[in-house]
Structure 1
Amino acid sequence: MTNIPETGRTSRVQIRLVVIQVLVLSLLGTLGGRLWHLQIREGDAHAEEASGNLVQQVVQPAVRGSILDARGVPLADNETRLVVSASRTDLLKTRDGGKAVLTRLADVLGMTPEEVRKKVRLCDARTPQPCWNGSPYQSIPITDEATAKQALQIRERAEDFPGITAEPQAVRRYPNPGEANSAQVLGYLSPVTDAEIQRAEGSDSPYLRSDQVGRSGLERQYDKQLRGKAGVTRYEVDNLGRVIGQAGSDAAEAGSHLVTSIDARVQRVAEYELNEAMKAARKEWDRNTGERYKADSGAVVVMEARTGRVVAMASNPTYDPNAWVGGISAKDYADLTGKASNYPLLNRAVQGQSAPGSIFKVVPTTAAVNAGHPFDGPYQCSSSYSIGNQVFTNFESEDHGPIGLGRALEVSCDTVFYRLAHEEWKRDGGNKPKKNAEDWFYKTAHQFGLGAKTGIDLPDEVTGRIPDRQWKQDHWEANKDAWCKSGKKDGSYVERIAYENCLEGNRLRAGDSVNYSIGQGDTLVTPVQMATVYAALSNGGTLHRPTVGKAVVSPDGRTVQEIEPESHGRLPMTKQTRDAIDDALAGVVTRGSADWRFVGWPQDRIPLRAKTSTAEVHGKQTTSWFATYTGDYSVVMTISQGGTGSGASAPAVRAIYNALYGVRKDGSIDESRALLPTPQTSLPEVRTDGTIAAPQTERHAPPKRRSPTGEVPSATTGRRD
């Protein structure tokens, strides 16, 4: 056994004590520094934050302003309903996280427990609808259709339903006046998200967690004006949550009303006629594909020609915006967003783009005149036109001989425009373009406002496309790798096209210009763009920014902010050219491709101009277009995979004009039946008490369309275009 000297043992103990003392002093120093930092340096800030914990806010939602038609008929307003809501915060305090409470609630409401639980779960990337995408601290509505008996059960047995409330609330309503749906124009609401709250912080229109915000349509475009300002009452509470006093309050401010240029009666007719036209087209045989037309979607725009204000705008397929009120069900959400439903949330009047076909010919007609070609010609309207080994045929291979541009518009002769476009392409250098090529046909389209947004006051408008030299280059650079990978010189049609595009997809070829001249190829337009163009032809050449909103009116009616029409340029044509085109488009109705649809029309009293179009789309059936105008309105309709313009769309457009002007089957005019023979100019009255002076609306379907002879029109008989 080794003996350790006493002095050595003592030295080691002392060292250990010193180390421990240093550690203790270091810890004390760290804690002291932290306390100084919290209590001295940041004491005021933490004190303010702590005091804030003693104040709780109670929000009184603002009444959202109504959306009115031009006469004051509500298209969207509010109604008082019994709303049953759940507080996630209170439910999570229960032993089972609220499962038992929600099960009992489901039994009272006649719902399944699963339906109720899905309503209160929070949305994230992995959670499908239905779910709650608002703040988790906000009461979540379970149903806004509770009966008085159900509400009484919940309130009388409050101990069985902790965190559940049943109380009357103002709920958004889309009343469909006269069965006018207007879904894509109006849009819908849903709760604000935390991300939106953060983005709006510091702005002049911040969000509260209780807010509902517009998600599409006018509800989104004019959300700030419609939403108003929620009221907030602040209560002082103790550490147990008991109210000990009121710290202040801000009164709620109701949202303003939006008066639109929509006429609910005309809107109903437009929706009905579009739907009927699509149903009629589906009964017709497509001899090109050997099956019936699919007519899977469509749109129609009715626009004031002198102002650009939208009187009616319909998109099909459509939906009921009331489905979103109070939270949308899983089935409804799937129906609205699934491929099988063909995406009814899309407003195809401003978001649907397709090749315009012959209604586009007013553009190359103008371009040809501006490039120096005489309007009267003559130009050879042969049955076909060849460029190298490629043959471009006239529609149905008709040969009209030598004609002028006016007659080419009337009979929709393709080969006249093929020749002019090819000649201009060669004049610009052909395959070796000049440095400063004129490109009249493309430049003129941009001057018509095509290839750009119209600026309509609806969200998510698309631009369409004018496939000029710059677009060709940009498109080639973006797709070259994919084309080179999939293209085959001797493959299928699509593979051969990819092969050619790989090699020279950036070149503006003769075939590109020829197809473009009749609104085919890569050209894309929207119905609202073409309605704007034809409105400009009607009013003498002024291009307007289309508008749906007409005025914003304060809740008491005392402040009115009118939304004035705005022009953004003129059509690039002389008065002489405009008048010549106008006469030709009148000829389309009286002696051209649409005359068989307008037998008996009172042309002497209501001069009507029109252009038919049957646009070809690779892999699909033809798209029907019909573009028209009078001195008051332009009306444009399109039906995807619907057949010909005169066959599918023209009868529906005539029915809309019949309703506007009160035209009978025999061509006589009954002014008492006319819905809107001249555009509405006055604004509806909003009284000081917030009520609106508006006419009553009738719920009825327009009469069945019939031709002047009494026969129901066929979708394809007669001339085609």
Structure 2
Amino acid sequence: MAVAGAERSRLRLVVLQALVLALFATLFVRLYSLQVVGGDDYRAKAADQSVRDIVVQPQRGLVVDAMGRPLVANRLSWVVSLDRTVLGKLDDTQRRKLVARVADAVELRPRRIEKVLLDCGDAGAETGTCWNGSPFQPVPVATDVDQSVALRLLEQPEDYPGVVVEQQNVRSYPSPFGVNLAHVLGYLSPITEEEFDTAQEKDDRSLHGASVVGRAGVERQYDAWLRGMPGYRRVQVDSMGRVLGDDSEVASTPGDTLVTSIDAKVQSVVEKELARSIRTQRGIVDRVTGRRFVADSGAAVVLDAKTGRVVAAASQPTYDPEVWVDGISSKELSRLYSEKAGTPLLSRVTQGQFAPGSTWKPFMTAAALRNGYSPDSRIACGSGYTVGNRTFKNYESGAYGVIGFDRALEVSCNTFFYAIGHNFWQKFGSDVDDVDARDPLVEGAKEWGFGSETGIDLPGEAPGRIADRAWKRAYYDSQRDYYCEIADKPQGPKTSDFLYRFSREFCIEGYAYRAGDAVNFSIGQGDTMVTPLQLAVGYGALANGGTLWEPRVGKAIVSPEGEVIQKIAPRRAGRVKSTRRQLAYIDSALEGVSRTGTMSWKLVGFPLDQVTVRSKTGSAEVYGKQSTGWVASYTDDYVVVMMISQGGTGSGSVGDSVRAIYETLYGIEGDRVVPRRAAIPGAVPPRALPTFEDDGSILPPVRDGRGGPR
């Protein structure tokens, strides 16, 4: 028994020794695998935990005017960011204290910083303040931090773990001659989640989670050129995320420069004149309503008549583009969209839609001359024109006898054009159920580009509206249920007599295009709408002999090295069908408006023999509001259109300002033309581009032998 027990003990010992040897062998093999076979891989992973990639934002491209003056540039700004990887290693108390210290240093509320640190899409995240970038990218929480604050944060890293302080490029607005130009330049905001996902799908490396992109104006239109290509910097960090040093860097590529056709000197005068006219009208009592003019908004645009390029464009009310640089607050954003504030974000030049009033009449003249009328046609200009049981009045009930188109344009006779509109309606469209009935005036308006976008290189352009039979039927179909519901019930205390009566009439025959619609269309009243830019393009075609140009703000794309990458050529949108003789006749009539017609009292002493200005005034009536005042005009070189909503008559509201703009363009002092005083050298828009020097300076275009820019 004793021998058998000893044998079993030795067997157990052998088994135990074998197990121990097997464990050591396994451990050895595993260590060999980790340190020898997979050593390089694990060393790389360990190193990667101590190295972090940081996106280096590229310097966004400049935007300059036609003479090379910077309209949008960049400046260095101290930016404070928080590394959320480090914050995640802190307990709740440590995190709150750190955020509070940072908030106190940069003079923000801790709650605001916490909102910025949230990923867009997370619960509680607010659009415009949340973070949409990489989870490993430090999140900017404060921009334009005072240098003394930035240096203090840098000098005390132990008190601010995970806080990154560096200088970054942000947008700046040099404002040459004090220009605003907000609606043309546009603004930037952080990339959205959808845009980021789309960029990844397309493998677009110019966009990343921390990018800012153009949201309006040329910043949006030419964003792909302006944004540049980001770089990447790898930095070594310790366990608390503190930067120990640089590891490697891929340099960013600056964005390209956009050269525009804007002239800052002209733009400055246009903006100031528009604002002055609005201020002036607000102090004048409207004789019709007995109240001061509201003058709630306005627009002005100057085009190169020969190419359609935009020389200046102003809209009121406007806003300061700087409000977007440091992240706009919800309160400020709401104000920019607020109707009470006048919706400052809305560009009245390209997006404002207004009844054109009598500035419409030259185009109606062109349509009439192509459809049976001639310069020899004579029509009565009485104080009123009766259609059915309604009499449509001439402006201030004036009467000028039997006259031709030229005189009708000079004195802006409504009843003259009423007769033409009524005549075409009786001839082609007296059947109100015929949606497809021919209308020469509608055809003519569309031929001149109205009712369609002009094609300008700015986003969000409105198409205007041609209120023809098809539009009226479509509007009736979309609104019938609403108005019929009001009409089918007894009139309630909250329903006005006008609304109740209108609803009953609309419900029964709101689709009908009647004679009253036709006569209103002939003078630019009723439901037809145009943008100031559309009107300027139409008058540009009158100026240049019939060519409709797509307006252009961009003129060229230039690389950071000063090489022209792409020239943005003017583009013809079409040509009107009017003959040269017909256009010359209208041109002569509009010259008469400036010399003896409705604009003449604003051009007394102006050297019309040296600078021939053709013009048309307009006062569009809007139900429940004061009149919209227009002046549309042109010379051989420029088109100038200005309007004020609820500002009164055209010449009375903006006539002085239109004159002042021409005086700026041509260097006019009193009754003399002084070429050296012209805002643009040579008094015509430059064809050449600015000169980009090797040292980064930008010089005006080279002048030709006649002293003007080539």
CA shift for structure 1 position 567: 0.5
1:160 partner letter: D
2:303–2:312 CA contact under 8 A, matched in 1: yes
CA distance in 2, matches of 1:105, 1:236: 23
Cα displacement string for residues 88-131 of structure 1 (whole angstroms, at most 9, x for unaligned residues): 44334432373322322232234444554455455669766762
CA distance in 1, matches of 2:374, 2:235: 80
Q: Percent identity?
A: 45
Matched residue of 2:349: which SS?
Answer: helix
Q: How many residues align?
A: 647
Residue equivalent to 2:708: none
2:78 partner letter: L
CA distance in 1, matches of 2:587, 2:251: 58
For the structure 1 residues 95 and 245, does the alpha-carbon distance in structure 2 shift closer, same or farther, using more than 3 Å as the test? closer
Match of 2:100 among 79, 99, 103: 103
Match of 1:575 among 573, 580, 593: 580
For the structure 1 residues 417 and 250, does the alpha-carbon distance in structure 2 shift closer, same or farther, using more than 3 Å as the test? same
Please state if 1:265 is matched with 2:273. no
2:610–2:673 CA contact under 8 A, matched in 1: no
CA distance in 1, matches of 2:474, 2:92: 59
Residues 613-628 of structure 1 mapped to structure 2, 5 A cutoff: 613-628=618-633
CA shift for structure 1 position 617: 0.8
Between 90-99 and 551-560, the greater mean CA deviation after superposition: 90-99
Matched residue of 1:653: which SS?
Answer: helix
Residue equivalent to 2:441: 441
1:235–1:248 CA contact under 8 A, matched in 2: yes
Residue equivalent to 1:525: 530
CA distance in 2, matches of 1:316, 1:106: 37
For the structure 1 residues 251 and 418, does the alpha-carbon distance in structure 2 shift closer, same or farther, using more than 3 Å as the test? same
1:83 partner letter: V
Between 500-509 and 214-223, the greater mean CA deviation after superposition: 500-509
Residue equivalent to 1:74: 70
Please state if 1:198 is matched with 2:197. yes
For the structure 1 residues 419 and 133, does the alpha-carbon distance in structure 2 shift closer, same or farther, using more than 3 Å as the test? farther
TM-score (norm: length of structure 2) = 0.86
1:90 partner letter: V
2:179–2:271 CA contact under 8 A, matched in 1: yes
Matched residue of 2:350: which SS?
Answer: helix
Matched residue of 1:502: which SS?
Answer: helix
CA distance in 2, matches of 1:241, 1:121: 19
1:161 partner letter: Y
CA distance in 1, matches of 2:335, 2:529: 28
For the structure 1 residues 92 and 504, does the alpha-carbon distance in structure 2 shift closer, same or farther, using more than 3 Å as the test? farther
Between 151-160 and 377-386, the greater mean CA deviation after superposition: 151-160
CA distance in 2, matches of 1:685, 1:279: 39
Residues 240-639 of structure 1 mapped to structure 2, 5 A cutoff: 250-432=250-432, 437-487=437-487, 492-639=497-644
CA shift for structure 1 position 465: 0.2
1:301–1:528 CA contact under 8 A, matched in 2: yes
CA shift for structure 1 position 237: 9.6
Please state if 1:686 is matched with 2:685. no
Residue equivalent to 1:5: none
- Which residues of structure 2 form unaligned runs of 5+? 1-41, 702-710
1:628 partner letter: S
Residue equivalent to 2:658: 653
Cα displacement string for residues 563-606 of structure 1 (whole angstroms, at most 9, x for unaligned residues): 00000111231111101110111111111011100001111110
Matched residue of 1:285: which SS?
Answer: coil
CA distance in 1, matches of 2:236, 2:110: 37
1:191 partner letter: P
1:497 partner letter: F
2:363–2:448 CA contact under 8 A, matched in 1: yes
For the structure 1 residues 673 and 126, does the alpha-carbon distance in structure 2 shift closer, same or farther, using more than 3 Å as the test? farther
CA distance in 2, matches of 1:298, 1:432: 36
1:122–1:136 CA contact under 8 A, matched in 2: no
For the structure 1 residues 601 and 205, does the alpha-carbon distance in structure 2 shift closer, same or farther, using more than 3 Å as the test? farther
Matched residue of 1:208: which SS?
Answer: coil
CA shift for structure 1 position 134: 3.0
CA distance in 2, matches of 1:139, 1:150: 18
Matched residue of 2:98: which SS?
Answer: helix
Residues 155-194 of structure 1 mapped to structure 2, 5 A cutoff: 155-194=154-193
Cα displacement string for residues 278-322 of structure 1 (whole angstroms, at most 9, x for unaligned residues): 000000101222210111111110000000000001111111111
For the structure 1 residues 436 and 143, does the alpha-carbon distance in structure 2 shift closer, same or farther, using more than 3 Å as the test? closer
Residue equivalent to 1:135: 133
Please state if 1:671 is matched with 2:671. no
For the structure 1 residues 284 and 492, does the alpha-carbon distance in structure 2 shift closer, same or farther, using more than 3 Å as the test? same
CA distance in 2, matches of 1:442, 1:356: 14
Residue equivalent to 2:28: none
2:594–2:613 CA contact under 8 A, matched in 1: yes
1:266–1:660 CA contact under 8 A, matched in 2: yes
For the structure 1 residues 144 and 574, does the alpha-carbon distance in structure 2 shift closer, same or farther, using more than 3 Å as the test? same
For the structure 1 residues 477 and 53, does the alpha-carbon distance in structure 2 shift closer, same or farther, using more than 3 Å as the test? farther
1:444–1:572 CA contact under 8 A, matched in 2: no
CA shift for structure 1 position 245: 12
Residue equivalent to 1:58: 54
1:407–1:584 CA contact under 8 A, matched in 2: yes
For the structure 1 residues 675 and 535, does the alpha-carbon distance in structure 2 shift closer, same or farther, using more than 3 Å as the test? same
Residue equivalent to 1:84: 80
For the structure 1 residues 159 and 299, does the alpha-carbon distance in structure 2 shift closer, same or farther, using more than 3 Å as the test? same
Matched residue of 1:348: which SS?
Answer: coil
1:261 partner letter: S
2:134–2:210 CA contact under 8 A, matched in 1: no
CA distance in 1, matches of 2:47, 2:633: 64
Residue equivalent to 1:20: none
2:69 partner letter: V
CA distance in 2, matches of 1:270, 1:112: 41
1:572 partner letter: K
1:376 partner letter: D
CA distance in 1, matches of 2:364, 2:664: 33
1:129–1:330 CA contact under 8 A, matched in 2: no
Cα displacement string for residues 178-207 of structure 1 (whole angstroms, at most 9, x for unaligned residues): 101111100111111221111222336442
2:418 partner letter: Y
For the structure 1 residues 452 and 382, does the alpha-carbon distance in structure 2 shift closer, same or farther, using more than 3 Å as the test? same
CA distance in 1, matches of 2:604, 2:641: 20
Cα displacement string for residues 240-294 of structure 1 (whole angstroms, at most 9, x for unaligned residues): 9899999986432111000000001111111100000000000010122221011
CA shift for structure 1 position 335: 2.9
1:668 partner letter: R
Between 487-496 and 194-203, the greater mean CA deviation after superposition: 487-496
Residue equivalent to 1:10: none
CA shift for structure 1 position 136: 6.3
1:376–1:403 CA contact under 8 A, matched in 2: no
Cα displacement string for residues 65-95 of structure 1 (whole angstroms, at most 9, x for unaligned residues): 0000001111001111222223344334432
For the structure 1 residues 477 and 601, does the alpha-carbon distance in structure 2 shift closer, same or farther, using more than 3 Å as the test? same
CA distance in 1, matches of 2:508, 2:53: 66
RMSD between aligned residues: 2.8
CA distance in 1, matches of 2:606, 2:392: 35
2:286–2:292 CA contact under 8 A, matched in 1: yes
- Which residues of structure 1 form unaligned runs of 5+? 1-46, 696-721
CA distance in 1, matches of 2:131, 2:667: 48
1:118–1:130 CA contact under 8 A, matched in 2: no
